[in-house]
Amino acid sequence: MQEIWVDREDFRKTKIVKFEKPTLEDGDVLVSVDKFGLTANNVSYAVSGKAIGYWGYYPAEDNWGKVPVWAMADIVESKCEGIKAGERIWGFFPMASHVVLKPGQIKRQTFADMAQHRQNLPLFYNQYQRTEAEPEYLKTLEDERCLLFPLFATSFILNDFLEDNDFFEAEQILIGSVSSKTGFGLASFLTQNEKYKGQVVGLTSPGNVDFVKALKCCDQIVVYGDEAQIDTEKPSAFVDMSGNGELVKTLHDHLQDNMVQSIGVGATHWDEKRARGDMPGAKPAFFFAPAQMDKRDKEWGEGMLFQKAFAAGAQLAASIKDIVRVELITGPDDVDQIWKDMLDNKVSARRGIMASLN
């Protein structure tokens, strides 16, 4: 059994750790992690591991951490009443071949990991979906579920948040790092949104222009460095997946008071400096998806926004399957290498990376 550890101060430093099959205590299950999605979002889990607590789900030793991923997994041994060997589950795991969980709050469709060290962490990440009771069609969407749905859900909630605020009266919405799944997901949902009458402007690097063009989700694509091409006459909202401080400042300086809203969502450019100090236009604020989810749960009923996000995500995933090609990387050395390639921006946006240490 094996897992990949990442140095919490230097994400390019990794080690493959082998371990013996653990002995289960009463209440434990041994899980074989079948396959997981890897994107810039997982790099962000490492970047905000300390601040938001992502290192806390599967602690490692000393200065090492285990980066969480969204995965499909199988229960291979059970000492837990109510959970049997052979069940397939989906949820938050480390980059590992196996892991021990302690299921509690067992329901027909879910259970939570009751491991002591996880009890102060948000339930959202502690909960596992039991696939047996799920509709058949979901079983055919395992890769999409790991690789795309968590990101498209955020895109959909962002689209809903913008709509809920009358798009901040913006006539153009600028999306930083639009070639990211979360970025083009938002661009696609905005393009399909009949209530939004403005333009969608995507910012990306030169190498990703053709990819974004193929997605047909932007009215204008602007390459980093060419921000002067953006119309300064239009009130603009900026939704940033890049976290690149220089880009944020350039856009604020360019649009001045016409930057009517500025929302930070991610940091695909994880090793660039963040934006600091006063800038013209709206003050940048961090997007907090759970706040919008809570609001809609109250207005529409529990889980409705998530259900809509799921349906829209499934539709979008189907429409891009010839543009984002899913591939499976197996074995610790190759998975370790793709992690490093991802850190160095060497993975084309056209590649949808699923990985497995089994």
Ligand X SMILES: NC(=O)c1ccc[n+]([C@@H]2O[C@H](COP(=O)([O-])OP(=O)(O)OC[C@H]3O[C@@H](n4cnc5c(N)ncnc54)[C@H](OP(=O)(O)O)[C@@H]3O)[C@@H](O)[C@H]2O)c1
- What are the residues binding ligand X (CB under 6 A)? 39-41, 44, 151, 154, 177-182, 204-205, 208, 241-242, 265-269, 287, 289, 343-345, 349
Q: What angle (nearest 5°) sits at the alpha carbon of residue 106, between those of residues 101 and 111?
A: 50
Cβ at position 221, least distance to ligand X in Å: 10
CB count in 10 Å sphere of residue 283: 10
Which residue number, 287 or 310, has a Cβ lying nearer to ligand X? 287
Which residue number, 39 or 262, has a Cβ lying nearer to ligand X? 39
Distance CA 233, CA 350 (A): 34
Tokens of 295: 């609001």
Distance CA 326, CA 38 (A): 11
Which residue number, 2 or 220, has a Cβ lying nearer to ligand X? 220
Which residue number, 115 or 174, has a Cβ lying nearer to ligand X? 174
Cβ at position 161, least distance to ligand X in Å: 11
Cβ at position 338, least distance to ligand X in Å: 12
Q: How many Å is the maximal CA-CA distance in the chain?
A: 66
Which residue number, 111 or 184, has a Cβ lying nearer to ligand X? 184
Shortest-Cβ-distance residue relative to ligand X: 266
Cβ at position 23, least distance to ligand X in Å: 36
Please say whether the beta carbons of 146 and 90 come within 8 A: yes
Residue at 173: amino acid letter:
I
Which residue number, 292 or 356, has a Cβ lying nearer to ligand X? 292
Which residue number, 46 or 83, has a Cβ lying nearer to ligand X? 46
Please say whether the beta carbons of 174 and 201 come within 8 A: yes
Alpha helices in the chain (DSSP H): 40-47, 49-52, 123-126, 136-139, 142-147, 149-164, 181-192, 209-215, 245-255, 289-300, 304-319, 332-343
State the number of CA atoms in the 13 A half-sphere of 124 facing the CB.
Answer: 9
Residue at 66: amino acid letter:
K
Which is it for strands 64-65 and 2-7: parallel, antiparallel or unpaired?
antiparallel
Cβ at position 182, least distance to ligand X in Å: 4
Cβ at position 90, least distance to ligand X in Å: 17
Task: Select from 211, 210, 191, 193 the least CA-distant residue to 201.
Answer: 191
Cβ at position 352, least distance to ligand X in Å: 9
Residue 117, Cβ density class (10 Å: 0-12 exposed, 13-18 middle, ≥19 buried): exposed
Which residue number, 29 or 265, has a Cβ lying nearer to ligand X? 265
Cβ at position 298, least distance to ligand X in Å: 20
Distance CA 234, CA 75 (A): 54
